[in-house]
């Protein structure tokens, strides 16, 4: 049991650091290219982009592990899926950012954020599964 915690711990550390670096990069990139955009100033696009990437990767990796490598080592699952991707993506940030949009009376952005997050993340996960199924290996 302790070795499983070890794999989750290190995967989560790398996932959290990756999330932070990518989020900061997206904020800097978008705010310098579109400095006067109200959308960029208000909309929590880094979380949406990161969650879509994570949803796509988790679909790909989980399908790959389950179908192409049925005898895979569970430590890989603990490290990548539970640790890295579990910390890289986050539902709690999504929820907080959605509530903040609503609290600040941005009903349009609130609705758009919820719809896009759910739909695009599900499509991303499905795309990851298709990618693993038909293109890779």
Cα-only R_g, the chain: 17
> 90 labelled as ligand-binding?
no
Q: What is the mean pLDDT of residues 97-125?
A: 97
C-alpha distances (whole Å) from 85 to each of 32, 79, 109, 129, 133 are 28, 9, 26, 15, 20
| pLDDT tens digits along 17-40 | 999 999 999 999 988 888 777 888
Backbone dihedral angles phi then psi of residue 37, each to the nearest 5 degrees: -80, 120
pLDDT digits (tens, 9 = 90+) for 70-94: 787 788 889 999 999 999 998 999 9
Q: Which residues contact 83 (CB under 8 A, 6 or more apart)?
A: 7, 8, 9, 10, 11, 12, 13, 14, 15
Mean pLDDT of the chain: 93
Task: Sort residue 89 into left (φ over 0), alpha (ψ -120 to 50) or beta.
Answer: beta
Distances (CA, A) of 131 to 64, 68, 116, 127: 9, 12, 21, 6
Question: Is 67 known as a binding-site position?
Answer: no
């Amino acid at each position: 049991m302790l070795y499983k915690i070890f794999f989750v711990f290190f995967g989560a550390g790398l996932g959290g650091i990756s999330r932070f670096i990518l989020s900061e990069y997206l904020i800097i990139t978008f705010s310098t290219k579109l400095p006067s955009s109200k959308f960029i100033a208000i909309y929590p696009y880094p979380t949406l982009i990161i969650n879509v990437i994570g949803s796509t990767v988790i679909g790909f990796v989980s399908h790959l592990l389950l179908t192409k490598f049925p005898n895979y080592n569970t430590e890989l699952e603990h490290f990548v899926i539970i640790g890295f991707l579990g910390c890289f993506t986050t539902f709690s940030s999504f929820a907080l950012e959605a509530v903040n949009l609503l609290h600040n009376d941005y009903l349009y952005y609130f609705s758009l954020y919820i719809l896009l997050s759910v739909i695009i993340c599900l499509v991303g996960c499905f795309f990851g599964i298709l990618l693993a199924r038909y293109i890779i290996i």
